[in-house]
Amino acid sequence: MNNLLLKKQHQQYLKKLKREKNEIVTWQIFILFVFLSLWELAGRYTWVDPLLFSYPTKIASLFLTKLQDGSLVLHTTVTLLETIAGFILGTLLGTLFAAILWWSRKASRISDPYLVVLNSMPKVALGPIIIVALGPGYISIITMGASISIIITTLVIFHSFHTVEPNYIKVIRSFGGNKKQVFREVILPASFPAIISTLKVNVGLSWVGVIVGEFLVSKQGLGYMIIYGFQVFNFTLVLLSLFMIAIFSSIMYLGVEWLERKLIKH
């Protein structure tokens, strides 16, 4: 009898969660619809300057035009591949540096002031130096995408390594586990939530780094489309590029959330 009652309560709870989720999605769609509708009306009836702010149907028309001539696919693919490469490289290197600092207490103490300085330094300002050092190509743009997230990844994950419950470490030590086993069996798994949170942040940072890199040197990509749009006063092209960035950055973010559900069981 108790099992049936618990099962019924669990089903009611799941239904409640589903209703809440549907309600949230409905509100999100409604807000987006209202925003686009007001923007469309404001542009068509010149409540705002349509030259500067354009409006959704005009952007959609340009989207179809650019899609048909293939230029939008080319520019989007270039930026997306650069961003994914920078995102993966920045996250892996940041996690590796954090592991090295956790492994060597002396190295962490030596590098601490340098990490603070590097974290406070605007990474975008290093763009011209990176481009001069690596040349005006894909490598420098990917490096921009990675460099903007490496330091923050190192700091966040290193802090997470040091805040793992000490009793877990003592259990491994009590069974004769060495430092490598402690890291593999305790430190790294316990830090998965922090790593996932860092991945979510790095999605946005990687896009920023790559777009800035394309502003400076690229002749392809969404960053190039934005700069070109400004140069020829085609702000519809600028907004189209921004929409493409928003769409694909959201897809990357959803991909990280999917990974979170797979790695972390709530």
Over residues 46-90, the pLDDT tens digits come to 898 888 899 999 999 999 999 999 999 999 999 999 999 999 999
Q: Confidence band (pLDDT; 50, 70, 90) for 166?
A: confident
Q: Confidence band (pLDDT; 50, 70, 90) for 2?
A: low
CB neighbour list of residue 78: distance below 8 Å, 6 or more residues apart: 218, 220, 221
Average pLDDT, integer, range 16-26: 87
Per-residue pLDDT at 59: 95
In this structure, how many other beta carbons lie within 10 angstroms of the beta carbon of residue 3? 7
Residue 10: is its pLDDT beyond 80?
A: no
Q: Enter the DSSP assignment of 220.
A: S
Binning the chain into helix, strand and coil, the percentages to the nearest 5 are 85, 0, 15
Residue 1: is its pLDDT beyond 70?
A: no
The overall average pLDDT reported for the chain is 88
Per-residue pLDDT at 265: 61
Convert the pLDDT of each residue in 208-247 to its tens digit: 999 999 988 878 899 999 999 999 999 999 999 999 999 9
